[in-house]
Amino acid sequence: GNSVTQMEGPVTLSEEAFLTINCTYTATGYPSLFWYVQYPGEGLQLLLKATKADDKGSNKGFEATYRKETTSFHLEKGSVQVSDSAVYFCALSPYTGNQFYFGTGTSLTVIP
């Protein structure tokens, strides 16, 4: 079946610290992988995506590389800001069908 396992939070970092949020997946076929961000009281916003093995998605200083051999899609950012405080969701969309499978989310708080 399809599933996403995400690093549990909450995560608290000081401003300018390095961020890693781990995500591993199980999927049949060749899924696309996504990171979504959810700010308080809002819906989900697409942060970045990768559609095939070894692709690197990047946006707003965040990066994630699609690793087929380790079935992982870890999110990284070199220097976090207070404005990055949010909940981050890893998700996959299988090769067949358009249904998304989400992880449980990782809450990030960045303190000045």
C-alpha distances in angstroms, 51 versus 20, 21, 23, 105, 107? 20, 19, 15, 21, 25
- Binders of another protein in range 67-96 (CB under 8 A): 89, 91, 93
Under the criterion CB under 8 A, does residue 8 sit at the interface with another protein? no
Under the criterion CB under 8 A, does residue 46 sit at the interface with another protein? yes
End-to-end CA distance of the chain: 41
Nearest-angstrom CA–CA distance, 57 and 6: 18
CB of 69 to another protein, least distance (A): 22
Under the criterion CB under 8 A, does residue 98 sit at the interface with another protein? yes
Nearest-angstrom CA–CA distance, 48 and 111: 24
Under the criterion CB under 8 A, does residue 53 sit at the interface with another protein? no
Site track 11-30 with another protein (rule: CB under 8 A), x = hit: --------------------
Under the criterion CB under 8 A, does residue 66 sit at the interface with another protein? no
Phi-psi region of 79 (alpha: psi -120 to 50; beta: other; left: phi over 0): beta
Contact set with another protein (CB under 8 A): 4, 6, 32, 36, 42-46, 49, 51, 89, 91, 93, 97-105
